[in-house]
């Protein structure tokens, strides 16, 4: 039986998202390392990967970006 993380991951993939994000805190995680904090906060929402000079070279935001701006 799949756990909650696997269910969320499957739903995100099925709907074309790259991961989760929390816009208020600029927190984000990708499908390959989903919910590394242990549990999503109530403010987490589906998001898309964006190239960024901050953090690890990427961030996750709720709005979709131009395809050329994303490295999947």
Q: Which domain holds residue 13?
A: 1-46
Taking residues 30-59, report their average pLDDT.
Answer: 84
Q: Has residue 52 been placed in a domain?
A: no
Smallest Cα–Cα separation from 29: which of 1, 49, 53, 4? 49
Q: Has residue 34 been placed in a domain?
A: yes
Q: Report H helices in the chain.
A: 4-14
59 Cβ partners below 8 Å, 6+ apart? 21, 26, 28, 49, 50, 52
Q: Has residue 35 been placed in a domain?
A: yes
Does the pLDDT at position 39 exceed 90? no
Q: How many domains are there within the chain? A: 1
Q: Has residue 71 been placed in a domain?
A: no
- Residue 36: left (phi > 0), alpha (psi -120 to 50), or beta? alpha
Q: How confident is the model at residue 68, as a pLDDT?
A: 44
Give the pLDDT band of residue 52 (cuts 50, 70, 90): confident
Does the pLDDT at position 72 exceed 80? no
Q: Has residue 23 been placed in a domain?
A: yes
């Amino acid at each position: 039986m799949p756990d909650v993380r696997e269910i969320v991951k499957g739903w995100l993939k099925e709907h074309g998202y790259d991961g989760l994000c929390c816009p208020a805190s600029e927190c984000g995680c990708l499908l390959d390392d989903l919910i590394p904090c242990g549990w999503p906060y109530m403010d987490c929402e589906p998001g898309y990967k964006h190239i960024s000079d901050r953090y690890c070279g990427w961030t996750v935001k709720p709005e979709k970006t131009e395809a050329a701006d994303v490295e999947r």
